[in-house]
Amino acid sequence: MKTRKGYKTYPLTVAQKFHNYYSEYCPGKEILNVGTSLTIEFELNIDELRKAIYKAYERCESMRARLVFDKKEKEWYQYIADKEDREIEFVDFTGKTMEEAEAEMTAWTRVPFDKEDEPMNKVTIIKTPDGYEGMYLVGDHRFLDAQSLIGFMKDVIELYCNANFEGIPYPADMRSYTAQIEKDMAYEAGSKAQARDREYFRRLIEASEPIYNGITGPQRLEDARAATGNPNLRAAPTGSDSFAAAIDIFHLEEEPTARLMSFCEQEHISLQCLLVMGIRTYLQKINQNDDVSLQVAYARRATLQEKKSGGTRIHSFPFRTVISEDQTFLEGIHEIRDRQNEVFRYVNFNPTEYLGYRKELYKTPLGMGYESMSLTYQPATLREKGLTDLGGIKYKTKRYCNGYYADGLYLTVMHRPDDNGLDFSFEHQTKAYTREQLEYFYYYFCKIMFKGIETPNMKIGDIIKLV
C-alpha cells in the first residue's frame, strides 16, 4: 500500500507493532488507550485555548496520524492527514465532585480508537470542580507515549501563553514524525546497526536462562513446577486469566524524594538505576535468589529529532542482574548503572523478536515468563521539560485507567508537579495483585532504597536482614 486518500502511507514501526501484538489477545481494544489530564490554577480563555490546540495539531504530525488495514497484504499502515478540524469540546465539571469528574474522564479513556481513517486521539477542554482549567487527552498508544504526550501538552500551553501574554516566546518547531519513521525503517531494512544489536541480544539470551522472582515470593514458581511436573522449571505465569486492570497510586513526599535525587546526583546515576536496585533487592530478599530479572522501558529519545517528533518510541526489554548479597549497595547500583548504559546502546532492536527468540530457545511454556513486573521511570515534569513561563501558577496532571492490562504488573514512577514528590503508579491486573500486596511491596522496596542511600557501603545481605 503506497497511498491512502492521496496521502503517502508508511508501515508501522517496531514500537507500534509491539503494541499491536499484545492488543490482539485482549478482549478490549481500549487496552491501547492512554488518558491524561493537565489542569492549571488559572482562568483560561476557552476560545484561545482551542486555537492553541488546533495550532499544536498543525505542528505535530504524529497527532494527525491515521491507521488503515491492507486486506491483501494483511498489514496495518499509517498516514498523516493534512489537518485536524474536528470539534474540541468544553466540559465544565463545576457542581460535581472530583470523584465524579474523574469517573467521567476514566469512562472517556475506555472508548477505543477502532476505526480506520479516523483520528487516533481526542482532546477535551475541561474545568474541574476545584477550579482548575485545562485539557484532557486520550490517545492510542501506537501514536502516543509519555514523552510525546508531555511534548504535545507543553506545546499547547506555550502556544497559548505566546498568544495571550507579552514577552512569551513562540515555541520552537516540532520535528518531522515521517522523517523519524523513515529513519526507523532504514534501521529495520537489514542495517549493520540492526545486525549488531541482534547479535548483542542473542549472546545475552544464550548465556543462560533467567528465573522468575515473584513480588509476593516464590509461590507462583513452585506452583508452576508442580503443575508441569518439572522441578527445574524457571518460568511462571506473569499475570492472571483476566485482563481487567486498575491503577493504585502511592505518593512519596517532597523531602524523601529530594534525598533520593541528591544521592543520584552525588553518585552520577539516574533515578531509574536506583529504582531498579531497590526493586531487584526486594525481589532478591523475598525470593531468596540473587538472580533477578525485571522488564524495563527505554524511551529511545536521545536526539532532539527523537524528542520532538512525537509518536511512540518505547521499547521494553528484560533487565537481568546477578548481584551477590556480599556486595555493597553502592557496588550493586554501579553495576546496574554500567549495565543500563550498555543495554541502551542496543535498544532500537525489536523487543518482540527478543522475547520470541528467548521463548523458542528455552521452550518457555505458554503463558509463562521470567519477569514478574515492568518498570517505567518518567524523568521529568512539564516544567522540567522547559515549561517555565507559568511562573508560580500551580498545575496538576493525572492518569486514567483504560480498564485493561496485558500483563500482571506495570509500575510507572513520575515526578509530581505540585510538590516535587514522586507518584508510584501500579497498573495491574486485579486478579493478579491486590492493593494491599502492592502497598507491602512499595513500602519495603522504598525502605531498601533509603537504607541503601543512608549506608551505601553496607552489604546487600545486611540491608536485607534489617528491612
| Cell numbers placing 115 | 476505526
The rounded distance, in Å, linking the Cα atoms of 449 and 454 is: 9
User: Is it the case that residue 390 has pLDDT exceeding 70?
Assistant: no
The rounded distance, in Å, linking the Cα atoms of 18 and 199 is: 20
Confidence of residue 388 (pLDDT cuts 50, 70, 90): low
41 conformational bin, left if phi > 0, alpha if psi -120 to 50, beta if neither: beta
Nearest-5° angle of CA 254, CA 284, CA 249? 35
| Cell numbers placing 445 | 522496596
- What count of other Cβ atoms lies within 10 Å of the Cβ of residue 41? 16
pLDDT at 380: 60
Confidence of residue 24 (pLDDT cuts 50, 70, 90): confident
User: Is it the case that residue 93 has pLDDT exceeding 80?
Assistant: yes
φ and ψ at 38, to 5 degrees?
-130, 120
* b/e per residue 195-211 (b: at least 16 CB within 10 A): eebbeebbebbeeebbb
Give the closest residue to 120 by CA, choosing from 159, 76, 72. Answer: 76
φ and ψ at 269, to 5 degrees?
-130, 160
The rounded distance, in Å, linking the Cα atoms of 151 and 171 is: 11
The mean predicted confidence, pLDDT, of the chain is 94
Q: Cell match 518439572: residue?
A: 230
pLDDT at 50: 98
Residues 6 or more apart in contact with residue 340 via CB below 8 angstroms: 270, 272, 273, 276, 296, 319
Confidence of residue 384 (pLDDT cuts 50, 70, 90): very low
- 35 contacts 136 by C-beta, under 8 angstroms: yes
Nearest-5° angle of CA 445, CA 372, CA 28? 120
User: Is it the case that residue 13 has pLDDT exceeding 80?
Assistant: yes
Segment 300-342, tens digit of pLDDT: 998 999 999 999 999 999 999 999 999 999 999 999 999 999 9
* b/e per residue 246-282 (b: at least 16 CB within 10 A): bbbebebeeeebeebeebbeeeebebbbbbbbbbbbb
- What count of other Cβ atoms lies within 10 Å of the Cβ of residue 69? 11
Mean pLDDT over residues 211-239, rounded? 97
Segment 127-136, tens digit of pLDDT: 999 999 999 9
SS3 labels along 112-136: CCCCCCCCCEEEEEEECCCCCEEEE
Segment 33-76, tens digit of pLDDT: 999 999 999 999 999 999 999 999 999 999 999 999 999 999 99
C-alpha dihedral, 81 to 83 to 86 to 87, nearest 10°: 150
User: Is it the case that residue 381 has pLDDT exceeding 70?
Assistant: no
Segment 392-431, tens digit of pLDDT: 678 888 999 999 988 899 999 999 877 889 999 999 999 9
Confidence of residue 385 (pLDDT cuts 50, 70, 90): very low
pLDDT at 420: 84
Mean pLDDT over residues 216-229, rounded? 97
pLDDT at 23: 72
Confidence of residue 85 (pLDDT cuts 50, 70, 90): confident
- 365 contacts 235 by C-beta, under 8 angstroms: yes
Give the closest residue to 140 by CA, choosing from 126, 117, 116, 119. Answer: 119
DSSP 8-state symbol, 247: E
Where do the domains of the chain lie, and which CATH numbers do they carry? 3-182 (3.30.559.10), 193-466 (3.30.559.30)
Q: Cell match 554500567: residue?
A: 338
β 65-70/75-80 pair status: antiparallel
Residue 241 burial by Cβ neighbours in a 10 Å radius (0-12, 13-18, 19+): exposed
In DSSP terms, which residues pair with 8 in a beta bridge? 3
Residue type, 320: R
User: Is it the case that residue 386 has pLDDT exceeding 50?
Assistant: no
Q: Where are the beta strands (DSSP E) in 253-383?
A: 291-298, 315-322, 368-369, 374-378
DSSP 8-state symbol, 311: B
The rounded distance, in Å, linking the Cα atoms of 357 and 296 is: 18
Give the closest residue to 260 by CA, choosing from 441, 466, 426, 452. Answer: 452
- What count of other Cβ atoms lies within 10 Å of the Cβ of residue 136? 24
Residues 6 or more apart in contact with residue 32 via CB below 8 angstroms: 19, 23, 112, 113, 140, 141, 142, 402
φ and ψ at 306, to 5 degrees?
-70, -35
C-alpha dihedral, 300 to 303 to 307 to 311, nearest 10°: -50
Give the closest residue to 212 by CA, choosing from 189, 237, 230, 191. Answer: 237
